[in-house]
Structure 1
Amino acid sequence: MMHLIMILNALAVAWWLRSAWNQPQGNWNLRWQRSLFLFLFPPLLIFMTAIAVLFMGPQGQMGGMYTGSISYLLALIYLAFFAISCIKLAFQGWQSVESARNCPLVNVGDRRARLLQTGALFAGQIGFWQPELVVSQGLVQTLSPAHLESVLAHEQGHHHYRDTFWFFWLGWVRSCTAWLPNTEPLWEELLALRELRADGYAALQVDPLVLAESLLLVVSSGPVLSEICCAALGSSGADRLEQRVEALLAPPEATPEAQLQSWHGFLLAFLPLLSVIFHS
């Protein structure tokens, strides 16, 4: 019974936190920290609660109350669902990587890239920790050297911040918590902030106006690949595009690296693990 109360409490807190989200205002750093916390903390709390219940087992006492097998079975099913979702996404990501590796290697400016045989305008980083740059034949043939360089600078921003790696795991969380409130709006917000960060990185190397023109050209052609293991310039919707163009035309805004203190709030999600010491 006590384990079931733990699970229900975790679900209630997770639901309440996600329901409290609304479209954030402010600078990039504040938006990123708040959206990332509300996206990650609720599923992490549920995950840690399930781990604690699984570790304590189906028998014993906690707080003077006997534990049962129902909560243990629920925790086991939930963790198995997490594991299966991860394996599924990893397989899809591996297929994307293998598909990219079948494309020929070419020199695009001073960079090596895989050439995708399509007339669509596409550029993206495909892979995990060490992704490869993939560009389409249509992109190379259509864009001017200046516009092409701005696109490549944007993609270098994704590589610099390891977006393909981190957003693989965030995508995993998204697939496992689609039933929680505001999962999709938070996901869209994080994608928008990801693109704004890569744009900011590129704007330090190329003319922001040229980059804004490149956005309009590439995004209008529509996405080519899925976002699994891919950070693609052409993956933004119209509303995200408007934000990005406005940000490029505005004075530059700093996008600092993640700081340790910004992660302190996530430590609260590990509190359910402390309940193990009260189990007998």
Structure 2
Amino acid sequence: MMHLIMILIALTVAWCLRSSWNQPQGNWNLRWQRSLFLFLFPPLLIFMTAISVLFMGPQGQMGGMYTGSISYVVALIYLAFFVISCIKLAFQGWRSVESARNCPLVNLGDKQARLLQTGALFAGQIGFWQPELVVSQGLLQTLSPDHLESVLAHEQGHHYYRDTFWFFWLGWVRSCTAWLPNTELLWQELLALRELRADSYAALQIDPLLLAESLLLVVSNSPVISEICCAALGSPSVGDAYGVRLEQRIEALLAPPEPNPEARFQSWNGFLLALLPLVTVIFHT
């Protein structure tokens, strides 16, 4: 009974936190921190609660109340679902990487890239921790050298921040918590902020106006590419979010530059609260 109460409390807190999200405004550094917290903390709390219940086992007492096997089975099923989802996404990502590696290599100045045989305009990083740059034949034939340089600078931003690696795990969280409120809206917000961050990185090296022009050219002719293990200049979106994200990026490029959001230790302190369920283990006998 006590373990079921723990699970219900974790679900209630997770649901309430996700429900509290609304479309933020202002500094995109603060938007990043808030959106990432609301996206990650609820599933992390549920995950740690399930780990705690699994660790304590189906028998024993806690707080003077006997524990049962129902909560143990629920936690086991949920964790198994997490693992299966991770394996599924990893397999899909591996297929994307293998598909990219089958493309021929081309030299772009001092960089090497995989050439995608399509007339559509595409440039993206595909892979995990060490992604490969993939560009389309249409992109090389359509863009001027200056516009191409701005696109490559944007993709270098994705590589610098290891976006393909981190967003693989965020995509895993998304697939496991699609039933929570605002999961898709938060995911779209994080994708938008990811692109804003890469745009900001590129704008430090090339003319922001040139990058804005390249962005308009590429996103209007981009093919549909899987989001798994891919970070591209023209990332896919859904519904009205496509136009909103594009407008935000153009406005950010034309506005005075903001400092890039570097990881700060204090911004991660709130996630430590998700470990509280592990403390309950010491009260289990």
Matched, 1:81 2:81: yes
> In the aligned structure 1, how far is the partner of 2:260 from the partner of 2:190?
14
Residue number in structure 1 paired with 2:165: 165
In 2, Cα distance between the equivalents of 1:7 and 1:271?
Answer: 13
Name the counterpart of 2:255: 250
Residues 237-272 of structure 1 deviation map (CA, whole Å, 9 limit, x = unaligned): 221111000000000011221111100000000000
The answer to whether 1:210 aligns with 2:220 is no
Structure 1 counterpart of 2:146, which letter? A
Task: List aligned pairs for 1:60-75, cutoff 5 A.
Answer: 60-75=60-75
Residue 62 of structure 1 contacts residue 278 of structure 1 at CA under 8 Å; is this kept in 2? yes
2:284 aligns with: 279
Residues in 2 aligned to 1:258 and 1:172: alpha-carbon distance in whole angstroms: 21
SS in 2 for 1:181: coil
Unmatched tracts of structure 2, length 5 or more: 237-241
- Aligned residue for 1:130, secondary structure, equals coil
Q: Distance in 1 between matches of 2:223 and 2:50?
A: 37
Aligned length: 280
Contact 1:212 1:245 in 2 (8 A): yes
Structure 1 counterpart of 2:274? 269
Partner of 2:23: 23
Q: How far did residue 234 of structure 1 move?
A: 1.5
Unpaired segments of 5 or more residues in structure 1? none
Partner Cα distance (1:238, 1:84) in 2: 34
> Is the counterpart of residue 154 in structure 1 residue 154 in structure 2?
yes
Residue identity in the other structure for 1:58: P
1:46 lines up with 2:51 in the alignment? no
Q: Distance in 1 between matches of 2:41 and 2:283?
A: 24
Deviation, structure 1 residue 110 = 2.1
Instruction: Tell me if structure 2 keeps the 8 A contact 1:223–1:235.
Output: no
CA contact (8 A) 1:122 1:224 kept: no
User: Which amino acid in the other structure matches residue 25 of structure 1?
Assistant: Q
Counterpart residue number, 1:235: 235
Task: Kindly provide the CA deviation profile for residues 50-102 of structure 1, in whole angstroms up to 9, marking residues without a partner as x.
Answer: 00000000000000000000000000000000000000000000000000000
- Secondary structure of 2:179's counterpart equals coil
Mapped partners of 2:223, 2:269: distance in 1 = 36
Residue by residue, what CA displacement relative to the aligned partner does 1:111-159 show, whole Å, maximum 9, x if unpaired? 1000000000000000000000000000001000000000000000000
**Residue in 2 that maps onto 1:259:** 264
Counterparts of 1:6 and 1:108 in 2: how far apart (Å)? 56
- Any idea what SS the aligned residue of 1:124 has? strand
Q: Is the 8 A contact 1:129 1:165 kept in 2?
A: yes
Matched residue, 1:126: 126
Give, as a single letter, the amino acid of the residue that structure 2 aligns with 1:255.
N
Amino acid at match of 1:195: E
Q: Is the 8 A contact 1:122 1:234 kept in 2?
A: yes
Q: Show the counterpart of 1:115.
A: 115
**What percent of counterpart residues are identical?**
87
2:93 equivalent in structure 1: 93
Quick one: which amino acid aligns to residue 68 of structure 2? G
The letter for the 2-side match of 1:45 is L
Deviation at 1:224, TM superposition (A): 3.3
Find the residue that maps to 1:94 and give its secondary structure. helix
Q: Kindly indicate whether the alpha-carbon contact (under 8 Å) linking 1:28 and 1:255 is maintained by their aligned counterparts in 2.
A: no
